[in-house]
Each structure stands twice: as C-alpha cells, then as structure tokens.
Structure 1
Amino acid sequence: MRKLLVAGTVFAIGLSNAAVASDSSEIQQLKAMIEKMQQELQQVKAENQQLKQEIQELKGGVPVSVPKKKASFVSKTGKPVTFYGYFKIDASYSDSKAVGKDFILFALPENSNGAVLKEWFPYTINSNDNDFNINFKHSRFGLLIKTKENDYNIVGNFEFDFYGTLDDNDDNPNHAGIRVRKAWVQFGKDDWNIRAGLDWMLLTQLYPHLSNFPSGAMMGNIGYRIPQIRFTKLFKFDESKLTTQVAFDKVWGDPDPVMKPYLDTGANSGRPDVQGRIAYDFYAGGVKIHLGTIGHYGKEQVTLYGGDEQTLDTYSYGLEGAISPASWLEISGKIWKGKNLGGWYTGGIGQGVLFVYRKLDNTLQPTGDYYLKTKLVDETTTHDPVGLVDVQEIRAEGGWVEVTLKPQHGLVFHLGYGVDNPKDSDLQYNGLYPVLARLKNTMYYGNVFYKLTPSLGLMGEVLRVKTDYPEKDMYGDTYGDGTVNRFQGSILYFF
C-alpha cells in the first residue's frame, strides 16, 4: 500500500511538472506572438504617420519630401533618384492636310488658285488629300530627385521627349532629336517655394487633355514651357487653399531675320517677362471648386529699316476654373484676351505681330508672324532685299472648355471645345491680308483612355479642326477655309 502511495505521488508530481512545463512553453509562444504583433503595429503606425504627412503636403501644394516609392538608383552624392516616364506610340489618320504631321496646329486652306501660295505650300492645291502617320515622339522620360536638407524640401526635375529635330528639313524618324521638356530645381518649406529653370508657364497650369501633342495650342489654350524663376506662396485653411505665384521669364520673341539666331526681339528688349497667377481651391456644399486668374506682361524690341528701335507690348489676362460635383465628373476651362501672343505664348493662332517690309521698288508688302517662317514676305519667290518699315501687334481672344468623365477606375473620357480668334483688323495693312492669314481656329475633340493593366494604357481620339481664312490675300489669291478630321489611336506603357 505504501509503495502504491509513493508511486501515485511520483506520478502526480510528474504530471504537474509536465503541465507546468507545457504552460510555460505556451506562455513563451504567446509572449513572442504579442511582441511580433507590437512590432507590426508600430510599423503600421509609422506608415500611417508618413501617409498623413504626405497627404498634408499634397494638400498644401508642396512636393512631398520623402519619396513614395523606392528610388530607382542613388546618385554619386547619395541622393535618391526616381526614373519615370512612358512609351507612347501614335497612329493617326487625317482626311485633309494640316500644319503638322505628327500633330496638328491648324488646317490648311481647302483650295487655292494663287501662284505664291502654291510655291510655298504645294500640297495645299489638293488639301483634301488624306494622311496616315505612325510616330513615337510623344514618348517621355524623366528624372526626379527629392530630398530634405536643413528643413528645406529640395526637388529637381529633368524631363525629355523626342520632338527635337536635327534640322528644319530632316523628317526622317530615325534622325529624331532628343528635346528637353523640363530642367528645374525647387527649394522651399511647407507654405512657400522657389523654382528656377525650364518649366510650364503660369498661364497654362490648367490645360485640356488631348492625345494630339500640343494640348490645344493655337486652338484656345495659351502658354508653353519657358525658362523662368518662379515664386509660390501658399495660404492653407481647413478645407481650402490659396495659391499665389509670380514668375520672371525670358520674353521669347522672334529671331531677327538678318541676325538670326544671335538676336531675337524678346532678348533685345533688355527686360524679362512677368507672369502672375492666383488660384483658390475650396469646397462648397461638398463640391470641389477651383478658381483662378492668370496674366503676363512683357516687351519686345525690333529694329526698323534705317536703325530706329520700336518697342512692342505682349500681354494677356484671363480666368481659369474647374468644378467637380462628383468624383466621376469634372468640368474645367479657361478664357483669355491678349496682344502679341505668337510664338511661345501659342495665341493668335501663332500670329503675334504683323510685319511690314519695303522692297527695292518701294512697294509695301504686309506679312504676318507665321508658323513655318512664312513671315519673311515672299523672299522665296522674288529674292529682293527688304527693309522692315512698320510693325503692328495682333490682338486675340479665346479659350476652351472640357468635360471629364470617370465612370470606373482606369477608364476616362474627355469631351472638349476650344477657339482662338485673332482680331481681323490687326491682320490687315491698308486693307490687305498677308499670305495665309488665319482669322479663326476652332477645335472639337473627344477621347477615351483605358488602362488595360496597371502599366499598359490604350487611347483613342477624334479631333476636328476648322481654320478660317480671308477670301483674298494681298496678291489677290483666293482660297477657302480649311477643315481636317483626325483619328488617332495610341498605346502607352508607363514605368
């Protein structure tokens, strides 16, 4: 009996020790699990804090100081560099001739019986002839660097595409040149920054969305990229933001026909162009609203025949706006007026100044500040020496409106209209119009973009451009208005 009690006691103690050992092991496992969960929770909290910071910085309009994604590579000085961009392959069909093959700026006249016009643009004799084109030039690549040093957010951006050319006459796609789109550096803090370099003008911070490369240039959307020094000051409130901006840039005038490329009318003025923009973003009844005012002022200087200098004004003023009554709908647009908006301001259908030259026989020949260098009177046909005797700034007005629809994630529709309308009387001299004077340019467009995968997108666009011309030019040549319908399909691969 005694042995039996001892054995039972030993067995009970063994069971108790085993249970204790088992409980101790489970407790250790539970402790390890709890510690792991605490570590993961701390990591989630840190990520949430970073996301909150980035959202606040984005609301304030200041680029985030910490890259959202892992950098593509590290520079020699240890800076994180993000390499980004997309390949864009465009196939387009146009039912009539237009200025531009890879893209459209305006339609050419439908017909002409004029010898001068035929020699300058031989294909306008049969402008209803169609075109088909495939190009890769809209592909884009860039480098973005973001750092934070001594409480300053510092950003650098370099971007390029393939719309450069080796020379004006080389149309071989294998010879396409690399063109710089952006090259700027910015530094600042939460509510202010300074940006210097090549970037978009303040005039075109809000723009229409077209697959046609110029995004409405000469069709109602003014502004382009230009070297500048820009100052931005933000005023942030609970659910609204006021953005004030001013920029000084190089007035991009026309090269002097004799001293080109060493002298242009913008640099010759000896002063910069000044741009300004004030934009207010807010919510009203749950509706997101953007309102802004834009403008610029600058001077150009030309040398008349005989050596006299004459100053030309260039200016614009306008309103921009956008309203989003729902997450899937936005209506945006811009209206503007101005004077001498040719060249890089892309207004007046590229006609900024009417130049008047005197030939050796003392007859006056008016011509315009045209695309394709047609402002140099008829030197291509007569080769007579000319002297600039008068200049006349051309006033213009226009704008655009666009409806954006996003019925589902990855699917976007755009429908839009734009118009650029120079003042007819400013395009005349002694009642005469220069060759190819463009009186009005109107666009209608619709496009759809669909993301087939997170990186692969498909886009289709229909664009109709109508360009009005005078019935008769200074030589008595007659030609009708031009209309072109362009159908474009694109494949985009983002990286």
Structure 2
Amino acid sequence: MNTKRQKIGQRAAVAALSVWLAPQVDAQEAATDRLDELKRQLGVVERKLELIQEESVSSAKAAANKFGVAVYGRVKFDAGYDTARTTPGDWATYVLPQPQGKDNELNATARDSRLGVRLRAPDFQGLVTTGLIETDFLSTGPANSPNPRLRLAYFDVATPSGWALRLGQDWDLFGVYHPNSVDAGLLGNTGNPRGFRPQVRVSKTIQTTERTKWVAAAALTRNIGEDLDGAGQDDGADTGAPAGQAGLALHTIGAAGRPLTVALSGLYGRETVDAVVKTTTTGADGSVAPKTSVTEKDASDYDSWLAHLAVIVPLSSRLALQGVVWTGANLDAYQAGNGQGVNAVAKREIGARGGYLQLTANATEKLALGAGYGIDDPDDGDLAAGQRARNSRLYGNAIYALTTAASVGVEVSQIKTEYKEQDSADALRVAFSGTLRF
C-alpha cells in the first residue's frame, strides 16, 4: 500500500516538475532562436560593411586609374579666288606655269577642319604622362568628301626634374613657328619649313628664373623620302637609319610682359637610291608596260640637312614681330626647296635658303591684323630646266572675332613663282575663312 502511494506521489511530483519546467524550456528555446536570428542579422550587417568597404576600395582604385580626357578641335571653312592657277588650289603653295596665259579659279573647302583629344594618365611615382591624338582632312579625296589624315599622335612621360620622353608622331622641332595666316598652307614651300613625322624625342627643360627657361631637345625621326629610282621603295626607308633633329629654344618675357622666343634647330638625314634599268614588257594582249629592274642596291646617297633660326619678338602690348631664316639641301620632305629635293638628272641634292618675316597687330580686342613676306629660293645651279627657281609671297590679313569661339578672316596675297629657263608665273589670291574653335 505504501509502495503504491509512493509511486503515485512520484508521478505527481514529476508532473508538477514538468509543468514548472515547460515554460523555462520554451523560454530557453525562444532565447536560442532569438540569438541565432541576431547572429544572422549581424552576419548580414558585416557582409554589407565588407561590400561597402570593397566598393570604396574599388572606387578609390578607379579614381586613381582614371584618365583625364579633353576633346578639342575646330570647324573651318575656306574659300579662295586666284587670278591664275595655284596648287593645290584649296590653299596656295606656288603658281603653275602659264604657257597659254592666266586661268583664274575659285575653290572652297572645309577640309582644314580638325578634331583632337588630349589625354592625361594618373600620375605615377612623380611621373606625369600625357598624350594627344589629332586628325584633319588635308589629304586626298574629292573636294566635298576628303579623306581623314593622321596629324599628330604621341604620348609624353615627364619627370619633375624637367626631362621628358615623347614617342609617336609630332611636329619637326623647327616646324612649330607658324605665321598668322588665313591660308591653310602656312607658307609651306614659301619660307616656312615644317612637317610632322614619327619620332622618338628626348627633351630637357631648364628653368633659370621665374620668367625664363631653356628647352633642349633631340629626336630620331622616320626618314621619309621619295622613290627616285622607281624601284617601289621609299628612299628614306632604304637608308636603313633614322634622320636626326636637335634644337635649343629660349623662352622668356619681352616687351609688355608678352612671350619672347629665340630657337635654333637643325636636321640631318639621307636618302638611298638603287641603280636601276628601265625597260618595257609586252603582255599577251600586246599591251606595253614599263618595268624597273634593280641592278645595284644602295648605289648612291643623297644627304638632307637644315639649319633653322626662329624668333618671336613682342614690340609692344599690341605689336609683335615673328620670322624664321634657314638654309639647307634636299628638303622637299620638309616643305622647303620649293618642293624639290634631288635633281635626278644631275644626280645631286638641290640646295635652298629662305624664310619669312611677319608683323602682327592686335588692333582691338576683336580685330587682329598681319602683314608679311615669305621666300623659298633653291640654288639655280642645282636645278634642271623647268624646275621652280624661286617662290615668294607678299600678304596681308585681318581676322575678326565674332564671339569667343567663332572668327572670320580675309587675306590678300601676291604670289610669284619663277621657273628656270621659263617664264615666271604670278597670281593674286583673295582668301576667306570662317572658324569655330572648341
């Protein structure tokens, strides 16, 4: 009996204990679930923080690797009336012979429009890297659909100490002192040697005072020539070596706080010509075609050289004088020697000398005036009959700013081209231009 009562008591105690413990167990399980939920939420927050941190790092890296890009250029309209035929017509280099008298012409074009992009890479360990790509349409093609032309394409790496390396296509060291002209030719083959070509250039800028610096530069350039022997190879490339250029320029402040520049530069290059025999071949249909056969490779060389001095001198707050003077030989690839480099008949280089002088005046804030004279004078003794013996140009212009971005200009020129043992040719040219720069 007692045993039975004991069992009943034990069961009652267990039941009572279960009733008392049940809420405690439920509370503990709820707390555990809540803790797990908090841990899950904490994990989500931690992951979000990681993503934010990763995004911040990525943004910082992207900002550090971001290139600076600036687009620039111009839209330019040109029209020119000539009392006699000039070449190429859209701009004037020299006057063509006039055996039957003068033949006037009118040309109009937009091919001197230009588009460029300036680049700046992120600085790296004190090095500044910049670049430039520029194109225009002064190339072949119809007057209303000219082909685009690569003008400039290079990049620079510059150090804080003034050293710089330039790789790509850029102006000749002496080819950046252009006259203030409406005509797109910029006195090429009329006193202003210039051009751009692929090159490797090293320069050093020395800042002597706050207002004065010297810039020394040397470049190895592609040796661009002709195909004098007709063997199908550029004679400059046939040389197997680059041309060399070097220059030293002084930049300081002149009258009225305006820039003053004096620059001395030069070049040396070479063209190599093969010995050839010219014959003809007859096809199966009876047609006759010329044939050039090389009999001796690298048979003769023709040297190219130039010594060049440029000055830009401010005379007052409104007036400035600018000009170049030069001498050299075999310079047709540099728009000098009146477009003639080698006398193939006499087998010698054509020497030449020339330059230009221009006076500019800022008449008002919107009106700029200019007047100048350019000449390119090959050595007569190096020329064959009929070649251009001298080319000169007297000109005056006015350029008016319609807005801060748009301008119009007019230029009147008297161009005279003399030919060896032939009558000279001359033309009066009236040119108009309208330009929008951006």
Same fold (TM over 0.5): yes
Q: Distance in 2 between matches of 1:282 and 1:256?
A: 44
Residue identity over aligned pairs, in percent, reads 29
Instruction: Pick one of 66, 83, 104 that aligns with 1:95.
Output: 83
Match of 1:394 in 2: 350
Q: Distance in 2 between matches of 1:175 and 1:453?
A: 28
Task: State the TM-score, normalizing by the size of structure 1.
Answer: 0.68
Q: Distance in 2 between matches of 1:184 and 1:285?
A: 34
Q: Is the 8 A contact 2:129 2:156 kept in 1?
A: yes
Tell me the CA shift for residue 489 of structure 1.
1.0
Q: Does 1:195 align with 2:127?
A: no
- Deviations, residues 449-475 of structure 1 (Å, cap 9, x unaligned): 11111121111111221001123xxxx
Instruction: Pick one of 378, 398, 407 that aligns with 1:448.
Output: 398
SS at match of 2:344: strand
1:100-119 residue pairs with structure 2 within 5 A? 100-111=88-99
Instruction: Pick one of 337, 353, 356 that aligns with 1:348.
Output: 337
- Deviations, residues 311-366 of structure 1 (Å, cap 9, x unaligned): 11110112111211222111011111101111x2111101110012xxxxxxxxxx
Q: Does 1:328 align with 2:318?
A: yes
Match of 1:245 in 2: 217
Q: Distance in 2 between matches of 1:395 and 1:250?
A: 21
Q: Distance in 2 between matches of 1:352 and 1:332?
A: 27
Q: Is the 8 A contact 2:202 2:219 kept in 1?
A: yes
Q: Is the 8 A contact 2:229 2:273 kept in 1?
A: no
Tell me the CA shift for residue 256 of structure 1.
4.9
Instruction: Pick one of 412, 417, 430 that aligns with 1:487.
Output: 430
Match of 1:158 in 2: 133
1:281-360 residue pairs with structure 2 within 5 A? 281-283=251-253, 288-305=259-276, 306-307=295-296, 309-342=299-332, 344-356=333-345
Question: In the alignment, residue 434 of structure 2 is paired with which amino acid?
Answer: I
Instruction: Pick one of 125, 128, 148 that aligns with 1:178.
Output: 148
1:3-22 residue pairs with structure 2 within 5 A? none
Q: Does 1:410 align with 2:361?
A: no
Q: Distance in 2 between matches of 1:234 and 1:286?
A: 24
Q: Is the 8 A contact 1:95 1:484 kept in 2?
A: yes
Q: Distance in 2 between matches of 1:211 and 1:165?
A: 21
- C-alpha change, 1:279 and 1:437, in structure 2 (3 Å) is same
Question: In the alignment, residue 236 of structure 1 is paired with which amino acid?
Answer: Q
- Deviations, residues 263-296 of structure 1 (Å, cap 9, x unaligned): 1110111111000110112346767532121100
Q: Is the 8 A contact 1:165 1:175 kept in 2?
A: no
Match of 2:380 in 1: 424
- Unpaired runs of 5+ residues, structure 2, are 1-61, 277-294
- Deviations, residues 56-80 of structure 1 (Å, cap 9, x unaligned): xxxxxxxxxxxxxxxxxx99x7322
Tell me the CA shift for residue 173 of structure 1.
2.6
Choose between structure 1 and 2: higher strand proportion.
2
Q: Does 1:467 align with 2:417?
A: yes
- C-alpha change, 1:175 and 1:407, in structure 2 (3 Å) is closer
RMSD value, Cα: 1.9
Q: Distance in 2 between matches of 1:203 and 1:285?
A: 24
SS at match of 1:219: coil
Q: Which has the larger radius of gyration?
A: 2
Match of 1:66 in 2: none
Q: Is the 8 A contact 1:99 1:107 kept in 2?
A: yes
Q: Distance in 2 between matches of 1:452 and 1:174?
A: 26
Instruction: Pick one of 109, 118, 136 that aligns with 1:144.
Output: 118
- Deviations, residues 75-108 of structure 1 (Å, cap 9, x unaligned): 9x73221111111011211111112111111011
